[in-house]
Structure 1
Amino acid sequence: MTTELRQLRQQDWDEYYGTLEVAFGGVAEAKEEHELWNSLTEFDRFFGTWEGEACVGTTGAFSFRLSVPGGSLVDAAGVTMVSVAATHRRQGILTSMMRRQLDDVRAKGDSLAVLTASEPDIYGRFGYGAATQAMTAEIDTARVRLTVPTGTDDVRLRYAKPADVHEACEALYARRVSERPGMLARQPGWERLGLLDPESERHGASALQCVVAERDGELVGYARYSVKPDWAMAGPKGTVRLRDLEAVDPAANAALWRFLFGIDLTSTVEAHSRPVDDAVLHLVSDMRRCQIQVRDSLHVRLVEVGAALEARTYRAPVNLVLDVEDAFCPWNEGRWRLKGDLKGAICERTEDDADLALSVRDLGSAYLGGFSLMSLAAAGRVRELRPGALAEASLAFGSDVAPWLPHGF
């Protein structure tokens, strides 16, 4: 039978999502998760490949606003729910879906496409480059001490039901988005993600808990977490599972971490998907006992090279020509002159000689400042064509803080 690639219809969502679940192991998600993802689906941005009545391939995109160096929020397509049925591998289905999707992203005017990859090796050939990293820590709070800054004792902490303070916590998060590249300005409906807590996903831990930090009656931070009790012959050894933590200043941040370290009957704090430059690394007495691990997180694809490079600012003045290779989106191929600084940038087509040559994938890796052009060049991924251009560009593309994706999609 032949296959048909078409826009997703509301009446086909259950079949579509069932195909996705089977591709990711066949374990059905909780009803609450189904309802959330169904409500967030933008049907004009989701596509399925069908063979008769059966869905054999899925992909979609959410409409996001992504923070970039300089603090601007840029329209970006958040690529999601990508799968191909195991019975239909190596038939060009994924390539055809990626082709249709990127054409659609371009037609909608988004200059960026982003995704988190279950298997990173898949997406490089479509121009996506790993642009942010996430840190996981498993901290032995029985042996690791915290040194907190002045003012920490002035922060008041109190328990709160997550739903009762959710609106205030979302407002605080919104204030933080422009401060760090890679963060997502949550669109209507996405605030529900922070409260999603199906019992089937707790694996022996408590329901979601929340503590808020206040100063002079104003919210200055919050932490959402759960606790998994455990006991040994020597006594309690429960684990605190941190879901998210945001704070507006060092004292509030330290107060929240000190609280997590001090929860009764626990001896471990597990923190997942934190920034690789998280301040907690400088609060702890022994980083070795924090079991730090780092992995790729957000992958970036420049859909419109000129518009994307103009959307961000540059840490140092830059004036150079980039020779960009992009076989999958040939409208990006060729030479672009980038002029920029901390105030803004212009990026236009040019016939001038190139200063650097690189693929759109590697440009995506450098775009948010998480990976330096210098390090990419050391791996042979960027070629310097004018002496000095690499150092100039690497400094300019950098970020003072590590880019970070706070949650998946």
Structure 2
Amino acid sequence: MTTELRALRPVEWDAWYDNLLRTFSVVEAAGERDLYRELTETDRGLGVWDGDQPVATAGLFSFRMTVPGGALVPSAGVTMVSVAPTHRRRGLLRALMRRQLDDVRENGEPLAVLTASEPEIYGRFGYGLASREMGATIDLGRVSLDVPEGADDIRLRLTHDPASVSEACEELYGRLVPLRPGMLERRPGWERLPLLDPEAKREGASPLRCVTAERNGELVGYARYAVKPAWDDHEVPRATVLLRDLEAVDPAAHGALWRYLFSLDLASTLRLTARPLDDPWLHMVSNPRRCAPYWNDGLFVRPVDVGAALAARTYAAPVDVVFEVEDAFCPWNTGRWRLSGDAKGAQCAPTRDAADLALTVRELGAAYLGGVPLSALAGAGRVRELRTGGGALREASTAFRSDVEPWLPHGF
């Protein structure tokens, strides 16, 4: 079988996108195709073609991602990866990953990031799980809230047309991006993604709604949600509130928005997905057990240029360690790297000095955003202490930590 891996041509986008939909058995809904056509960076798309048919796809988005310290670092967002079932186990995915990472390096982006439909796939290409996300199904009849002081001073406004307040919500989102590692600066067009609400995918829920929170006329938070009505056999209302996203600038705004969601008429359940692990509501509820919290994998991170990636962030405590890095897929990273840094900045360069810690690039990616301790990876045998007398693991693990949990608010 003869196949050709090459760059995507704009006229081929529909066929390329159709292969992705078929591979994932996705039923396309109104509005989705136009949005993703607009968002796709065609010049960063790759395809494998068998004759005139695409049989594998991969794309990249040109993001800037917040890292510990608040810097926005160029990060290539790996997306739209698919291999047709007729062409699996022939090395096509590996070839796409190889070409992508070479292109990312050539483009000068120190990081590649992705979300995974099958997490077990990407570790062999050097991606480490760097952030997690939380979900919950909250029993509103058995859980109460103790909201922060100032929540009563917040004015809430409800709109059934979220697009009408989108510009103000995006401005608020942009203010929050530098405050949490893993958040992505949204480029033009991406503000449409949170508003995508095809009727075919509501599964009986209402259209999307938006409640905004204001203090003295200034927007300080918002929540987008839908309500799925239900009644039991005794005509008792059992509606479920489905939270899409919620952002707020301070505790009072958080409290006002969460209290609103907890008190909607006819609702018995509040369902959350893709929330940060340190979400404020966890510390307002009366009974966490009745919230059934769980976590899932979020963002996977891969250093493409180890030196540039480690120098781009700051560190919670002074650190001066030499890493022995193994990177079988991107061998230019393999070797010893001295990292010296603190809360003001860092530098990282190749060295011949003795190594203090040994690990693969996958572990560096997992620890990079500060949510996964190097000490935990060491406990799993993924990081090895080499410094005579020890101490390197504690020093590096403390330095890498973030004061807030990393979080990716939306997929791509």
Common topology (TM > 0.5) = yes
Whole-Å Cα distance in 1 between the matches of residues 29 and 238 of structure 2? 29
Note the residue ranges of structure 1 that are not aligned, 5 or more in a row. Answer: none
Partner of 2:251: 250
Secondary structure, counterpart of 1:232 in structure 2: coil
Report deviation, 1:233. 2.9
SS of 2:162's equivalent in the other structure is: coil
Unaligned runs of 5+ in 2: none
Residue aligned with 1:38, SS: helix
Q: Name the aligned partner's letter for residue 272 of structure 1.
A: T
Deviation at 1:11, TM superposition (A): 1.1
Describe the SS at the equivalent of 1:123. Answer: helix
The RMSD of aligned alpha carbons is 0.7
How far apart in 1 are the matches of 2:265 and 2:7? 52
User: 1:28 deviation in Å?
Assistant: 2.7
Aligned-partner SS, 1:139: strand
Q: Distance in 1 between matches of 2:402 and 2:270?
A: 29
| Residues 10-409 of structure 1 mapped to structure 2, 5 A cutoff | 10-25=10-25, 27-160=26-159, 161-234=161-234, 235-386=236-387, 387-409=390-412
CA shift for structure 1 position 163: 1.0
- Which SS does the other structure have where 2:301 is aligned? strand
Of all paired residues, the percent bearing the same amino acid is 65
Q: Deviations over 1:208-249 (max 9, x none)?
A: 000000000000000000000000134100000000000000
Tell me by how many angstroms 1:150 deviates. Answer: 0.9
Aligned residues: 408
Deviates more, 1:376-385 or 1:28-37: 28-37
TM-score by length of 2: 0.98
Measure the CA separation in 2 of the matches of 1:21 and 1:194.
Answer: 20
1:30 Cα deviation after fit: 1.2
CA drift at 1:159: 0.8
Segments ≥4 residues shifted beyond 2 Å: none
Deviation at 1:97, TM superposition (A): 0.4
Distance, in Å, in 2 between the alignment partners of 1:10 and 1:66 is 27
TM normalised by structure 1 equals: 0.99
Partner SS state of residue 273, structure 1: strand
**What is the alpha-carbon distance in structure 1 between the residues aligned to residue 230 and residue 269 of structure 2?**
11
In 2, distance between residues paired with 1:375 and 1:352? 25
Q: Give the distance between the partners of 1:316 and 1:363, measured in 2 at CA.
A: 17
Query: 1:31 offset after TM fit, Å?
Result: 3.0
Task: Report the CA distance between 1:10 and its aligned residue.
Answer: 1.2
Deviations 1:271-319 (A, max 9, x none): 1100011110000000001011101110000000000001000000000
Once residues 55 and 16 of structure 2 are traced to their aligned partners in structure 1, the CA distance between those partners, rounded to angstroms, is: 8
